[in-house]
Structure 1
Amino acid sequence: MAPFDEIVASFWHPTSTHGRRPPLTDDLVATAECVLGVRLPDDLLRLLRIQNGGGVAEQWDACPAEVNGYADDHVPFEHLFGLDLADRPGALTLLDTPYLVREWELPSPCVLLSGQGHFWVALDYRACGPTGVPSVAWIDNELGHELRLAPDFRAFVERLVPGSRVS
């Protein structure tokens, strides 16, 4: 496990531009928290201030996990949604969460960090409430299976490993 501060420096994929949004502003964070109805973790915002969404570097693109519908020993984390109010074609943003929760009948309250319809990595606010510290969960919508990946976002990031190292 690498410390969060070390991961921050190399978290983002160095060449991928898919899913990148314009730089994060304090006004956008305030608007997003109002729209989502939750307080976003400071460590998440720290990463999004460096780069507002996009591909995760290969050395951090998987999270070890129990057996699940994706793999026997991990779940993918190849991208992190950014924050953006503009309706731009392409990648999803954290602000798409309310729509996606309704569309895919996902547990709520949560904020979707990454995923693609059948499975998601999410901040799970069900136990802590909207101003608490959310855990990070894997939600396999197709199989109706959930896994708790970490007690908070920082611990989740510190558990990340290269997808090539697992399996």
Structure 2
Amino acid sequence: MIFDQSDDDEYVGPPVDAEMIRQAEDVLQVRLPKSYVDLLSLQNGGVLRNRCFPTEFPTSWARDHICVDVIRGIGGEEGVEIVSADMIDEWEYPDIGVVFGVTPSAGHDTVMLDYSECGPLGEPAVAYIDEDRVPRRLASSFAEFVSGLVSCRTFGEDED
């Protein structure tokens, strides 16, 4: 399972159904990637078990990786359709798509579905947004991003 089965369920939304997906897509004005929707049908967001993603570029977090604590789901108080636009405004992220990742910096950086090349109905890439607000591609798709997550121990860090 991709998610940590801890007692902390602040980021776990209600069970996903087709109407919730349609409503989220209407609010966000994009088609969510099938791999993201499929993951949310198993568990609607939550704390990740493997939280690090290797990078080929240095970040404010580390020279060779980022850390993502949570993947946001849809619905509920923390759903992407509820918080993404506000986060883009508040943190001055580039308006390239949907904020879905929660990082340990609590807003100074983030991870987004990037629709800038594919348009709102295409398959978005996944981009890391650092403090300089320049999108840097992490993966060509959400599925590739999820499959690239590794234990933070890989980088000599604790999992907590």
Give the TM interval when normalised to the shorter protein. Answer: 0.7 to 0.9
Q: In the alignment, which of 109, 116, 119 is matched to residue 129 of structure 1? A: 119
Cα deviation code 1:59-116 (max 9, x no counterpart): x2110012111111111122110111x5x4xxx3211111111222211231111133
Please tell me the residue identity of whatever aligns with 1:37.
Q
Structure 2 CA distance for aligned equivalents of residues 126 and 73 of structure 1? 25
- 1:14-163 correspondence runs (5 A): 14-15=5-6, 16-57=8-49, 60-65=50-55, 66-84=57-75, 86=76, 88=77, 92-95=78-81, 96-115=83-102, 116-140=106-130, 142-163=131-152
Question: Could you say what the CA RMSD is over the residues aligned between the two structures, in angstroms?
Answer: 1.4
What's 1:3 paired with? none
Cα deviation code 1:25-68 (max 9, x no counterpart): 110100000100000001101111111111111xx211001211
What's 1:6 paired with? none
Q: Percent identity?
A: 33
Structure 2 CA distance for aligned equivalents of residues 46 and 161 of structure 1? 20
- Of residues 99-108 and 151-160 in structure 1, the stretch that sits farther from structure 2 once superposed is 99-108
Structure 1 CA distance for aligned equivalents of residues 59 and 136 of structure 2? 8
Question: RCO (CA 8 Å, sep 6+): is it higher in 1 or 2?
Answer: 1
After the TM superposition, which segments of 4 or more aligned residues of structure 1 sit over 2 Å from their partners? 142-146
Structure 1 CA distance for aligned equivalents of residues 96 and 135 of structure 2? 14
Unmatched runs of 5 consecutive residues or more in structure 2: none
Q: Secondary structure at the match of 1:143?
A: coil
Number of residue pairs matched by the alignment: 150
TM-score (norm 2): 0.88
Please tell me the residue identity of whatever aligns with 1:74.
H
TM-score (norm 1): 0.84
Structure 2 CA distance for aligned equivalents of residues 144 and 80 of structure 1? 20
